[in-house]
Structure 1
Amino acid sequence: MTTPASPLLSVQGLRVVFPGRHGAPEARAVDGVELDIRAGEIVALVGESGCGKTTLARSLLGLERPAAGVVRFDGKPLEYSSRALRAYRRRVQLVLQDPSGSLNPRHTVYDAVAEGLRIHRHAGDERKAVADALSRAGLRPPERFFLRYPHELSGGQRQRVVIAGALVLEPELLVADEPVASLDASVRGEILALLLRLRTELGLAALVVTHDLGLAWNIADRVAVMYLGRIVETGPVEAVLTAPRHPYTQALLSVLPEAPGEPVVLAGEPPDPSRIPSGCRFRARCPILANGEADRAGVADRCRAEDPGVLNAGGESQAACHWAAERVGA
C-alpha cells in the first residue's frame, strides 16, 4: 500500500522524443521531467500549446513509451506489456477535452460507460456499476440516461458521461486533458466542482492538463508550469500564482483579465523542440534578459550558457531560472 507521504505517481528523468523527418534532429517533446502526484492531490500542468503537456500526459498513461526515465505508480515501475498496461489502466484513467469526439455517436450512454467494464471483463453487476458511475458523475437518476445517445445530451452532460466512463473502473488517478476547454463558461464551473467533489468523496488524485491558469487556481493543490518539454516552475498553487518566480510564469499570469499592470507580450514563438537552445531554454523570449535585469543581477552570461537544470516537482516552490535563484539568494 502507498503510505500517506509517498507519491501515488512518480516520474523521474522522463524523456520522450520523436524522430525527425528526412534525417532532421529528433524532437525532444518531453526533455527531462520530474513530477510527483500524491493520493487525493490535484496537480495542474499548465503552459502554452506545444510545450509538451499532452505528450507528458500520454506518457503517464503508457501511450507513449519514454526514451529515458521511469514512471512509477504505487512505488512500482510502469511496465509496457499489454497485460501490465491493462491492469495499470484500471487504476489510471484518461478524461479527454472533447466529449463529442470521445463518445461513439452510435453507442448509447449505457454502452459508452459499460465499455471499460467489458474490456476489463468486469465480473460484478454491470448495470449497477454503470448506474453508480453515472450517479457519481452527476447524472441522476442514472436510468433516465441509459438509452440516450450523445447527440441527445448537452455538452456538460456529455462530459459527465465521459467522466462516468472513467469512474466506472474505480481508478485512483484521473489524467484530465483540458477537461472543460470545449464547454460553455456556464458549465465549466459545474464540471470543476464535480472533480473537486470526486476528490473529496473518493480520494481521487488528478493531473489536470490546461493552458488556463484561472482553472488551475480554482481546482489545483499544486501547479507545474511547462515550457519546451520541461517543468520550469512548480509549487503550491497559491505560491506560484500569487508570487510567480519564473519570468515565463509571470508572463502567463500577466495576460489574465484580473492581472494588475500591463500584460507581458513574449517575443516570437517557442523554439523548435528539435533545436533547443543552449543555456536557459527560455532565454530567446525572456523579458528579463531582454530588458537588462539579468545583466544587472549578474546572471546574463549564465542564462545564455548554463542550463538551469531539471526541477524535482515534488511539492515545494521551485523555479528553473538563474535570475529567480539570484533574487532568492540576495
Structure 2
Amino acid sequence: MTDQAAEQRSGQPAEQPAERPAGPVLSARGLHVDFGVRGGRRARAVDGVDLDLAPGEILALAGESGCGKTTLARAMLGLVKPSAGTLSYAGAPMATSGAGLKAYRRAVQLVLQDPTGALNPRHTVYEAVAEGLRIHGITDNERDRVAQALSRCGLRPAERFFLAYPHELSGGQRQRVVIAGALVLEPKVIIADEPVASLDASVRGEILALLLRLRDEFGLAALVVTHDLGLAWSIADRLAVMYLGRIVESGPTEEVLSAPRHPYTRALVSVLPDSPVPGPMVLSGEPPDATSIPAGCRFHPRCPALASGASEAAGVAPSCLRTPLPVLGAEQDRHHVACHLATATPPPVVTMERDE
C-alpha cells in the first residue's frame, strides 16, 4: 500500500519514514573471533570479515550450521568480543563498556529464534515488552510506548494482550511480542537470528511481511541470520554467504541467487525451486573444521569444480590448493565472489524471476 493510499484509507496523513543518514549504520572491518578449544587449539569462528549494513536495508547472512554466521551476529551485537578488527556504529567505533555500550544495545536490538524460549513464562506480555524500557531507565509514557510497539507488530488492540501470558498466545503472536520488545526502544537496527525457523509455514509469511513493513515505514535496518535462502529471496535487499568463518559471496540478492558464482553458493542454490543451477548438487567430504582452515581456498576440500576438473581446465587448480583468497570488500552495490575459478571465468547470464 502506498503512502497516498494509506492516507486516503485512514483519513490522516500517512506517517513518513525517518530520514536515513548517509553511510552504513553498522560496519565490520577485518573482524576475527577466535575461541579456545580442548587441546590448546583455536577455533577461528569468524576469520576476517568486512561487512556494511545500510540504513533501511535488510541484509541476509546465510550459510550452513557452523559457518560462523551466528558468531558474527553476536559480535556485531557486542555480545562477543572480537579477537581482531573493528566494529562501527553510525561511523563511530562501537563502545565496549559503560554507558556507551548500553546506548549501543538500545540502538541495536536482538530478535531471537525461539519466541517461547525468549519469553519468561511468568511474565505477562506487558511486562515482557516493558522490560527493555525499565532496563534502560525509560520511565515516561511506559504504557503508551508498550501499546504502540504491540500495535506496530500487528497485535491490536494492544490492551487486549497486556495481561496475557506466553502460553496463551500462538507461535506467531509470541514472535510478534518478541519483536515488539525490541521495537519499544526505537532501535535503528534489528539483528534477527533465524526469526521464523520455529514457526509454522502459515505464520512465516506474516512475520516476514512485518519485517518488510517495519523497514519501509520506519527505516529500520535488519541483519537476518538464516540457513534458508528462500527466506533471503523473499525479504533481503542483499545477501552474504558465509563458509568457514568468511564471506565467500555477497551482493544484491537477486544477482547472487540468479547467477551464483561460488561453487558453495551454487550448491546451496541448486536445491531451491526453479533454481538456475541445473540439478541438485550434493557436497562431498566432511563439514568444515574451524580449528584447521585448509590452505589456499578454504572450500577446496569439498569443491565440486575442483573435483570435476573444471578448475584444472581453467588453469587455477594450483591456486585453489595453495593461494589464499583475499577478504571480500564491503561495497553494497557490487556482486563479490572469493573464488579462483569464478574470477578466471566470465559470470553466467541467468534470469530467475521473483514471485510477487
Matches of 1:22 and 1:238, distance apart in 2: 43
Structure 2 CA distance for partners of 1:329 and 1:131, relative to 1, 3 Å: closer
Residue 319 of structure 1 corresponds to 337
User: What's the counterpart of residue 54 of structure 1?
Assistant: 70
In structure 1, the residue corresponding to 2:195 is in which secondary structure? coil
Report what 1:10 is aligned to: 27
Deviation at 1:270, TM superposition (A): 2.5
Q: Is the 8 A contact 2:58 2:235 kept in 1?
A: yes
> For structure 1, which segment, 264-273 or 65-74, has the greater mean C-alpha deviation from structure 2 after superposition?
264-273
Counterpart of 2:151, as a letter, is S
AA at the equivalent of 2:208: L
Aligned to 2:255: 239
Matches within 5 A, 1:161-172: 161-172=177-188
Matches within 5 A, 1:261-300: 261-300=278-317
Q: Deviations over 1:92-123 (max 9, x none)?
A: 00001100000000000000000000000003
TM-score, scaled relative to structure 1: 0.97
Q: Determine what percentage of the aligned residue pairs are the same residue.
A: 68
| Residue in structure 1 matched with residue 266 of structure 2 by the alignment | 250
The count of aligned residue pairs is 328
CA offsets, 1:254-301, max 9 Å, x none? 012332632000012332101010000000000000000000000000
Mean alpha-carbon deviation: is it higher for 147-156 or for 2-11? Answer: 2-11
Q: Displacement, 1:314?
A: 2.6
In the aligned structure 2, how far is the partner of 1:324 from the partner of 1:280? 12
Q: State the distance in 2 between where 1:264 and 1:22 align.
A: 35
| CA RMSD after TM alignment | 1.4
CA distance in 2 between counterparts of 1:130 and 1:155 reads 20
Once residues 53 and 25 of structure 2 are traced to their aligned partners in structure 1, the CA distance between those partners, rounded to angstroms, is 6
**Correspondence for 1:120 among 130, 133, 136:** 136
Measured in 1, the distance between the counterparts of 2:131 and 2:184 equals 9
Contact 1:44 1:222 in 2 (8 A): yes
Mean Cα deviation higher: 111-120 or 78-87: 78-87
Q: Could you tell which deviates more after superposition, 92-101 or 320-329?
A: 320-329
Aligned CA distance change for structure 1 residues 329 and 184 (closer, same or farther; 3 Å): closer
SS at match of 1:21: coil
Q: Which residue of 2 aligns with 1:152?
A: 168
What's 2:92 paired with?
Answer: 76
The offset of 1:82, in angstroms, is: 3.2
Moved more, 310-319 or 157-166: 310-319
Whether the 8 Å CA contact 2:259–2:347 is kept in 1: the answer is no
Specify the alignment match of 1:40 in structure 2.
56
Distance in structure 1 (CA, Å) of the matches to 2:268 and 2:50: 22
Give the TM-score, by structure 2 length: 0.90
Q: Does 1:173 align with 2:189?
A: yes
Q: Hey, which bits of structure 1, 4+ residues long, moved more than 3 A? A: 2-5
Matches within 5 A, 1:61-100: 61-100=77-116
List gaps (5 residues or longer) in structure 2: 1-18, 349-356
Structure 1 runs not aligned, ≥5 long: none
1:10-33 per-position Cα deviation (integer Å, ceiling 9, x unaligned): 10000000012132x200000000
